[in-house]
Amino acid sequence: MPDQPADHLSDLDPPSKSQRKREAQALTALGRRIAELSAGDYATLPLDGTLREAFDEVRGMRSHAARKRQQQYIGKLLRHGDAERLEAALAAIENRGREDAARHHRVERWRDRLLAEGDAALGDLLAEYPQADRNHLRRLLRTARREADTDKPPRAARELFRALRELAAAD
């Protein structure tokens, strides 16, 4: 095969020991991230029988050494299984969490803006959310401002936040 360039032959070479080790460590880290998921998120993952049993065991372990051995075993199972599918499912779960946090921060900004600017901000809010109940929001806003002025607990501000959160969720 003298006609073929030398770099073509390197494509046929197996991965180096260092590369295989990095891949194994990445799969073990993937297993660790999966094991640390909440019970609700963990239940949504597409795991087969052996892999699910291994994760169930590691989630119940308290001993650091035993947990580390079990995580390495999970990494081994992932090397022989469908790690890409689990990686995609985990990314979707983590992305959903970021979206929830961003929505929460957006609602907080609206609440703070409404409390600071009053009716001007309410007009902008109603332009963005035309389905919102203007009178209910105006009443909550007025009550929240009155509570802030008299140093009362922010009950109406919390109600305003809940109403804004419902608006954002419905949108």
pLDDT along the chain (171 residues), means of 10: 53 84 88 87 86 89 91 89 86 88 92 90 90 91 90 90 90 74
Task: Give the per-residue pLDDT at 82.
Answer: 79
Which long-range contacts link 95-98 to residues 24+ away (Cβ below 8 Å)?
A: none
Q: Where are the beta strands (DSSP E) in the chain?
A: none
Task: Give the per-residue pLDDT at 1.
Answer: 47
Are 90 and 42 in contact, with CB atoms under 8 Å apart? no
Residue type, 165: R
N- to C-terminal Cα separation, the chain: 63
Q: Where are the beta strands (DSSP E) in 38-165?
A: none
pTM recorded for the entire structure: 0.58
